C-alpha cells in the first residue's frame, strides 16, 4: 500500500466545483473515475482545496492510497490519457502514509484577475472578470493592507455555519497591473467559503471609489457578510500556488 499525491490543474468552467456531487460533474468525480479505471481499484481521492463551481486551479492537490504496483511518478502520464482535456495532472509522487492535505500546515495563493477596459476580450472571458469601470490600484492596495494578518473574516465568509472559527491569517495581498489586467494575489494559510471572491468584490468597490480604503477596517469589525462588497464572479479566480509542511514532508507546487 502506498499514498500518492497528485498536483492537478483544471479549467473549472464546465464543472460544479471540486467536491463530489450527486448531480453534476466535479473535478473530484472525474479523478475518482479515471483513477479507478486506471488502477482497477475503487479509488476516492482526498482533496486539499474544495474550489467552487467555475474556479480554476494550476496546482490543487489530492491524495489517495493504492496497492497498484505502477510507480507513483508514472501515474500522471497514464492518468492524463483518461482525463478530459480540461483536467491535467501536473505531477504524481509518493508521500508518507500519514500525510493528509487538509490536516497539516499549508500556504496557498489565489489570483483574482480583472480585465479593466471598454469592452470584454472574448479570448479571456473564461479566466478574467470584466469591468469597464476604471479601478484605482492605489486605493485598492490601501484597502487590502487592512486585511493582511490574523483577523476574524466573518464579514468575508458566505456561510459561516459549518466552521468552528472564522479567524484566518492572510500572509500577503499584492495588487498588480499587466496591460489592461489587474491581478489581486492573496496568500494565506486558510480561507473561508468564498473569502477570496468577497475580498476581490470589496476591493473593486474600493477601487471604483464607492467607499474609502479605511472602510475595509469597518467591514472587518462588523463581522457581518452584509457589510462587505459583492462576491466577485468565479471565473476570475485561480488557485496558483500551494505549499505543505508536515514533519519531514515539505513541498511547494
Rule CB under 8 A: which residues touch a second copy? Answer: 9-11, 56, 58, 76, 80, 85-90, 118-123, 125-127, 238
- Contact between 17 and 51 (Cβ < 8 Å): yes
Q: Choose, from 52, 136, 152, 172, the residue flagged as catalytic.
A: 52
Q: Which residue, 9 or 38, has its beta carbon nearer to a second copy?
A: 9
| Least CB distance to a second copy at residue 121 (A) | 6
CA of residue 172 relative to chain centroid, distance: 15
| Least CB distance to a second copy at residue 80 (A) | 7
Largest CA distance in the chain: 59
Could you confirm whether 218 is annotated as catalytic? no
Residue holding cell 492535505?
Answer: 101
Q: Which residue, 123 or 248, has its beta carbon nearer to a second copy?
A: 123
| Least CB distance to a second copy at residue 118 (A) | 8
The string of DSSP codes covering 27-73 is HHHHHHHHHHHHHTS----EES--PPTT-EEEEEEEEEEE---S-GG
Q: How far apart are CA 47 and CA 59, in angstroms?
A: 11
Give the N- to C-terminal CA distance of the chain in Å, as an integer: 24
Q: Which residue, 15 or 99, has its beta carbon nearer to a second copy?
A: 15
Q: How far apart are CA 209 and CA 90, in angstroms?
A: 41
| Least CB distance to a second copy at residue 79 (A) | 10
Q: Which residue, 79 or 232, has its beta carbon nearer to a second copy?
A: 79
Cite the active site residues. Answer: 52
Amino acid at each position: 500500500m502506498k499514498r500518492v499525491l497528485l498536483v492537478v490543474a483544471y479549467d473549472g468552467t464546465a464543472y460544479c466545483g471540486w467536491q463530489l456531487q450527486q448531480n453534476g460533474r466535479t473535478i473530484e468525480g472525474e479523478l475518482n473515475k479515471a483513477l479507478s479505471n486506471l488502477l482497477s481499484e475503487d479509488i476516492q481521492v482526498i482533496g486539499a482545496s474544495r474550489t467552487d463551481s467555475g474556479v480554476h486551479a494550476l496546482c490543487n492537490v489530492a491524495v489517495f492510497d493504492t496497492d497498484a504496483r505502477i510507480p507513483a511518478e508514472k501515474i500522471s502520464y497514464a492518468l492524463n490519457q483518461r482525463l478530459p482535456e480540461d483536467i491535467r495532472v501536473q505531477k504524481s509522487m509518493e508521500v508518507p502514509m500519514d500525510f493528509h492535505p487538509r490536516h497539516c500546515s499549508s500556504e496557498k495563493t489565489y489570483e483574482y484577475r480583472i480585465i479593466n477596459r471598454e469592452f470584454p476580450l472574448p479570448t479571456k472571458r473564461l479566466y478574467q472578470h470584466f469591468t469597464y469601470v476604471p479601478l484605482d490600484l492605489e486605493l485598492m492596495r490601501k484597502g487590502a493592507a487592512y486585511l493582511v494578518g490574523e483577523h476574524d473574516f466573518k464579514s468575508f465568509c458566505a456561510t459561516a455555519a459549518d466552521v468552528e472559527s472564522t479567524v484566518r491569517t492572510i500572509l500577503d495581498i499584492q495588487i498588480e497591473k499587466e496591460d489592461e489586467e489587474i491581478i489581486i494575489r492573496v496568500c494565506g494559510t486558510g480561507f473561508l467559503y468564498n473569502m477570496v471572491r468577497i475580498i476581490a468584490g470589496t476591493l473593486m468597490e474600493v477601487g471604483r471609489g464607492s467607499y474609502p480604503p479605511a472602510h475595509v477596517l469597518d467591514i472587518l469589525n462588523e463581522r457581518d457578510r452584509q457589510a462587505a462588497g459583492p462576491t466577485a464572479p468565479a471565473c476570475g479566480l485561480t488557485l496558483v500556488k500551494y505549499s505543505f509542511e508536515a514533519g519531514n514532508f515539505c513541498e511547494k507546487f
